[in-house]
Structure 1
Amino acid sequence: MTGLHERHLAVSPEWLALYYRHPLELTHGEGRHVWDADGNRYLDFFGGILTTMTAHALPEVTKAVSEQAGRLVHSSTLYLNRPMVELAERVGALSGIPDARVFFTTSGTEANDTALLLATAHRGSNQILAMRNSYHGRSFSAVSVTGNRSWSTTSLSPLQTLYVHGGVRTRGPYAELSDERFIEACVADLEDLLGHTRGVAALIAEPVQGVGGFTAPPDGLYAAFREVLDRHGILWISDEVQTGWGRAGDHFWGWQAHASSGPPDILTFAKGIGNGMSIGGVVARADVMNCLDANSISTFGGSPVTMAAGLANLSYLLEHDLQGNARRVGGLLIERLRAVGASSPAVREVRGRGLMIGIELVKPGTDEADPEAAAAVLEAARAGGLLIGKGGGHNTSVLRIAPPLSLTVAEAEEGAEILGEALHAAT
């Protein structure tokens, strides 16, 4: 155990998770690579939990941060803030939500917490629909709408949460149905559920479930849900903390895979927009955003420094078509990983879109999740010079792969080869 690890354990809560038997101290990064305190170099396929969206030490972002920090680090929302207004204008326009209003927070958890506050206030109800296998953050309200046992840390809740089928396509009671019948069954379940309730405020859903193992319903499920929700006046919150900014390749936002219903009433975002700086936020229609009848501010949301980083990062993303790169290179990577998975009896499924890919591991010859194998592959991949993540329901048996969106073809090939070797060594 390293001295830093011992010091970490002495001052940190026991529930603060660390990866690896011998935890890693990262000291610096560049592009798609990071280095540890011992000088080892790694290809980063997890990006600080999908947060390093463009690249490590991206010059455009570091320059913007440095220049803004040299002028003014902090002011709070009590004063006009040009970088905040400029980023809000761009995010609001990109969101697709008409007459959009944008509120910045410091994390995805806080963004989802704000969205739940808005929805319950707007509807005058504390009833929320959420998806099974979902994850929405670690605040009291976000935990209470998280349908993933490993991350739902308390059964106490400020909300009455009702869980809906549909977030996981290949497991559960509807797994064997065709996509069309799957959607029909999930809609019927939703209709039945609403027949036993009154006054539900909102449905909160990740278009692709992140911590849940990069699972997703068939395209069009949330459009079908939206028809039901609209009849009941229920709002739709799209949690885009992990799916936003083009990571899924085909779409800029995850909700656009269900676009026949139009944009959500509320959209939450975080992670990649700051490329490591602490930015989260909420976009909502003006009538929803303005429904609160009390004053509020944000001390740190919309910080001039983080907003400058977000503006530079978003500009780089759009100018270099990193969404297109995620689609092209992600398509190649998932093809390579499926070829790797086909030769391993431990791999149940390789799924995903763009640069958001999950590899689900099971005990060979069964459909039983194998979290021990996932942990072993994580270690073997690190030994080979590759950092990945893991997740997936309460079994944590899915390898999560989400590199920076500037990943090159050569790096995708390299990562797939290392991961293939790790799978065969550890399973």
Structure 2
Amino acid sequence: MTATADAEAAENGLTPLADYLGSVLRRLRALPPLDLDLTQAYGNVLAEDVVAPHSFPAFDQAAVDGYAARWEDIAGGGRGVGYVPVQSGRPGGRTVRLNVVGDLGAASWRPVRLTPGSCFSVAAGAPLPIGADVVVPVEWTDQGMAAVEIFRVPKRGYGVRRTGEEVTGGALLARSGTYVSPALVAVLAATGIGHVVVRPSPRVVIVATGDELVDVGRGSQPGQVVDANSHALTAAAAEVGALAYRVGICDDDPEGLRGLLEDQTLRADLIITTGGTGTGPGDMVRRILSRREGSRAGPVTFTDVALYPGTALGFGTVGAEEVPVVCLPGDPGAAMIGFEVLARPAINLLAGAEPVFRPSVRAHLLETVASPAGLREFRPAHVAERRGGGYTVQPLNGGPFTLSGLAEANGLLVLGERVTAAAAGSTVDVLLLDRRR
């Protein structure tokens, strides 16, 4: 954000978005680390570096089913002891015959040694005999039991996995801040790790407020609005990796709201409310949570931010435990955008995840769009990769307030405070959204 944009926002009585986010995120700290069994660690973020206690593979082993042999015994150019050229019935040629002196499975543990001209039948994962430097796949042989004919000679080292070939003992497996994926769980387990220290997934409670709200399963009528927000925000929090709990609807009752929030602090690392952040007569959340007590300011500060849609956002703490609370607007589109720019980074920060913001790209705009002056707009869009590199972005119909646009979007077009119109063909910033399609 430029100094000019900052000045324009301040002139409108609005706080620049970058300044607001910086002031909020500086007040948050990652949750205390927790030692977890490996089976429970998926989806969390490592709180410390992890070093391999053992090598992987832990011993020389066969990578395929076949016959473990000495390459010099089967190589066409070599004539090691036991090399027996045989006229093959196959077109083309000659084969090599070796004596099969034993079978080795993945559970075999006694060390054995190859003698010239011999081989072992081995299963994938079986320890290699001493002296073996190649495994001939079963399908390249006649699959003999006492003796085997080899029709095709692999390169030296084929079908063999050496000790520490993938990971050596003492190697750094993952740094602090790394997301624990299923693949990382496999690596950790394979090197002998049973516990890891992680940041726990934040427990996030979502509360929708408003006398007009009714639960899902019915249509809206005059004086009634179906509560879409708490359902959508619960899903959004879960998508980030939080343990998300939907409390449901709270009426605009001061004592009821205070009591509900106080109760939820016992099980929450973050509370998200939606609705009541404005300055109208029915905006009880702002009136209650920002109320001064004696000479003290209220626990939550509400700020008019240079953001479109949804300028009014709240942040502070509630309860004796001072649990962070994020207050989002009641309009569903504004609530979802507010979650993206404020609540999502807060959840990532609590979880110890880096980076806290979504990835972004620069994209070629396909359609001219207008934007309100002095506000940073986030508009649903579809972003696609171009042949030859780069991206294109197509704004979706209806602007930023439309839920259907947000449902279809795989990106958010970002238009800065100084932008009142962006022409087709210009280059713009786009946040990339998670989509499992």
After TM superposition, the score normalised by the length of structure 1 is: 0.26
Higher relative contact order (CA 8 A, sep 6+): 1
Q: Which of these two proteins has the greater Rg computed from alpha carbons?
A: 2
**TM-score, length basis structure 2:** 0.25
